[in-house]
Structure 1
Amino acid sequence: MIVVTGATGGLGSATVEHLLKRVPAGQIGVSVRDPAKARHFADRGVRVRQGSYEDPGDSFAGAEQVLLISGNDPAADLVSLHRRAIDSAVAAGVRRILYTSQHGAAPGNPYQPSDLHLATEAILGDSGVAWTALRNGAYGPLDQVLGPWQRTGEIAQPADGPVPYTDRADIAAATAALLAGDRSVDGPVTLAAPNAVAFDDFAEIASDLTGRTITRVVLDDEQWVAEQIANGVPEQAARFMLTWYQATRAGYFAESGPLLAELLGREPRAIADRLAETV
């Protein structure tokens, strides 16, 4: 059995949908905080059990593989919670744990989540079971990354660097292929689109798509933070996001790899195609 945690979230839910196309529903289980929110899976034959990282319960029982979707609560001790989930999976006899890590996770990366992912990967390495850390490329909505460029005609953000922005749907499909297929990969692996682009590239692509001149405007870090605060973003949250820009321009997210395309059996969705959906 394959058990997916966080299966009512965006990535987890999409991964289960792709698994249902590959394996019988009876071979899939989900561990969720609120089973009522996973009723649509239960109705299709998926095993639904209540479980959380604080208390996994028996949600991993009978599983050969577990997909551990990393937590995202900035107020929580996520490393400890991940450890609890990993220990529970090991105790349940799971043979392999797949963990959604972060592209570019490396010592010294200024983007703060890098440290928690490295710590979780270290726990997996000491767990005694086979493990895979899926270092997923940035897959957030492009409008969150670029700002209101359609209205302003500008991509006005801090200095950046190349990033292989990746479609979440592609990551979900590839993760399901890895869980359901005969191929296994060990340790940390990059799962990201093949081409890294910067905001200058986005401005050029957006200009071609719209027939307008979309300009890239580089904001000073402190100016950007001040604007975020003026728009109602808490300063702590703004400075947290600033570390992501700092990491991109330091090159921590520049590298990619072929694994995503190999698992999909096709080329991942291009930036131009994704950007066209927002025009």
Structure 2
Amino acid sequence: MIVITGATGALNGATVEHLLKRMPAEQIGVSVRNTAKARHFADRGVRVRKGSYEDPAALRHSFEGAEQVLLVSSNDPHADAVALHRVGIDAAVAAGARRILYTSHQGAGVDSPFHPARDHAATEQCLANSGVAWTALRNGFYAHSLGWLLGDWQQSGTITAPADGPVSWTDRSDAAEAAAAILTGGRAFGGPVTLTARQAVTFDDVAALASKTTGREVERIVLDDEAWIAAKVAAGTPEAMARMTLTTFQAAREGRFAGVGPLLGELLGREPRTVADQLAADIDAA
């Protein structure tokens, strides 16, 4: 059995959908905080059990019989993410899982300016110490994040943000599909594997793509870090949140998100979605 955590969320929920296309539903389990939200899976034969990183006993029960467990990373910015992930790892080991997978991030590193990257690196170390085979899915930075990083460029005609660096913006649904391919494929992936789009681009590149897509010029304006923080706070963003977002740009400047590779496309059997695809989707949604 394969057990997936966070299956009512966008990423791992999509992974379950792809698993259902690849294997019998009775061989899939989900561990979720609210079982009612997973009714659509239960109705199709998926085993649904309550489990969360805050409840080790329930989590172990939800992992019962699992050969593989896919742990989703915590998205609570106020939580001790590494401690929560350690609970998940321990529960998977206690349940007898042969392999633990974890949704990590391409920029994982203990010295990264981007705090979640440090949590991912620490969690990967916990996995390495677990005594069980493990795979860290180092997904590229999710492309839908561009929606809030780029600001109101469609109205203003400008992309106003701090200095950045190349980022291999990656479609979240592609990452979800790749996870299902890894879980059900015969190839053994040990340790961290990087799953990214084919190309890393800067905001200068994004402005050029936006100009081409819309048929009107979109200008890239670089703001000093503190000026950008002040503008965000003035617009109503809490300063702590603005400073956290700034670390994304700081990490990008250091090349933390610049790497690209062919593996995602190989797993999908097609070309991964691009930044141009994301911009077109954002325009359609506007």
Q: Secondary structure at the match of 2:183?
A: helix
Give structure 1 stretches of 5+ with no counterpart.
Answer: none
1:58 equivalent among 61, 64, 78: 61
Partner of 2:94: 91
Question: Does residue 1:237 correspond to 2:241, yes or no?
Answer: yes
Q: Residue 57 of structure 1: CA displacement?
A: 4.0
1:109 equivalent among 108, 112, 136: 112
CA–CA distance in 1 between the matches of 2:262 and 2:238? Answer: 38
Code of the aligned partner of 1:18: H
CA–CA distance in 1 between the matches of 2:61 and 2:125? Answer: 24
Question: Does residue 1:228 correspond to 2:232, yes or no?
Answer: yes
Partner of 2:257: 253
Aligned residues: 279
Partner of 1:36: 36
CA–CA distance in 1 between the matches of 2:65 and 2:204? Answer: 49
Higher helix proportion (structure 1 or 2): 2
Q: Residue 140 of structure 1: CA displacement?
A: 4.6
Q: What is the RMSD of the two structures over their aligned residues, measured on CA atoms?
A: 0.9
- Show structure 1 runs of 4+ deviating over 3 A: none
Give structure 2 stretches of 5+ with no counterpart.
Answer: none
Q: Secondary structure at the match of 1:156?
A: strand
Question: Does residue 1:82 correspond to 2:64, yes or no?
Answer: no
Partner of 1:100: 103
Code of the aligned partner of 1:25: A
Q: Secondary structure at the match of 1:83?
A: helix
Code of the aligned partner of 1:98: L
Identity of aligned residues (%): 64
Contact 2:25–2:44 (8 Å) recurs in 1: yes
CA–CA distance in 1 between the matches of 2:229 and 2:277? Answer: 30
User: Where do residues 119-138 of structure 1 align in structure 2 (5 Å cutoff)?
Assistant: 119-138=122-141
2:153 equivalent among 149, 153, 172: 149
Return the TM-score normalized by structure 2: 0.96
Q: Residue 107 of structure 1: CA displacement?
A: 3.3
1:118-166 C-alpha deviation (Å, 9 max, x unpaired): 1110110010110000111111523112111100000101100000000
Q: Secondary structure at the match of 1:58?
A: helix
Q: Secondary structure at the match of 2:243?
A: helix
1:161-185 C-alpha deviation (Å, 9 max, x unpaired): 0000000110011001111111121
Return the TM-score normalized by structure 1: 0.98
